[in-house]
Amino acid sequence: MEFIVNNESMTLELGSKLGSLLNKGDIICLNGDLGTGKTHFAKGIAKGLLIDEYITSPTFNIVNEYTGRLKLYHFDVYRVNDPDEIYAIGFDEYIFSDAVSIIEWSSYIEELIPDEHISISIEKLPSRGIDFRKIVINHVGDRYNYIEGITL
């Protein structure tokens, strides 16, 4: 599924719609260049999970933890130099749990990502305008068929 958004609020709204549908143990991979809006999309997901806490980028601590309707682990693996580093923090115990896991820059640790997951890629559309983004949502695994009805 592909969505064109033209401001930050629309990205939050789409994230929130996804977040409100998520189930225990769901894994969401977020990829896209620096500053495309991955963390804003994650903020939307958190809103949809009824998390009241302020979501900050976990770049320096790799993972932040929140609790709403479900538990949320928000990873940013941009600064991870070697997948072994993230493996060492007990990555598997986080992602194979009842929590929802969001992983920014998951492509950096592709070999650690389970086959079945939701993947979101965000791209700037500079020719359309500074705040325009193309957000593509895909999934592997029937357990995620429920996302197919999302509309903006």
Ligand X SMILES: Nc1ncnc2c1ncn2[C@@H]1O[C@H](COP(=O)(O)OP(=O)(O)OP(=O)(O)O)[C@@H](O)[C@H]1O
Q: Which residues bind Mg ion (CB under 5 A)?
A: 38-39, 57, 104
Part of the chain binding ligand X (CB under 6 A), chosen from 4-12, 48-56, 84-92, 138-146? 4-12
Q: Is 131 in the site for ligand X (CB under 6 A)?
A: yes
Q: Residue 7 Cβ, how far from ligand X at the closest point, in Å?
A: 5
Size of the site for ligand X (CB under 6 A): 16
Window 63-82: residues binding ligand X (CB under 6 A): none
Q: Provide the angle, in degrees to the nearest 10, between the axes of the packed helices 8-21 and 38-48.
A: 40
CB 115 within 8 A of CB 29: no
Angle (CA) 65 76 107, round 5°:
135
Map residues 11-30 to x or -, x wherever contact with ligand X holds by CB under 6 A: x-------------------
- Residue 85 site contact among ligand X, Mg ion, none (CB < 5 to 8 Å, cut-off depends on kind): none
Beta bridge partners of 137: 120
Nearest to 72 by CA among 37, 48, 38, 106: 48
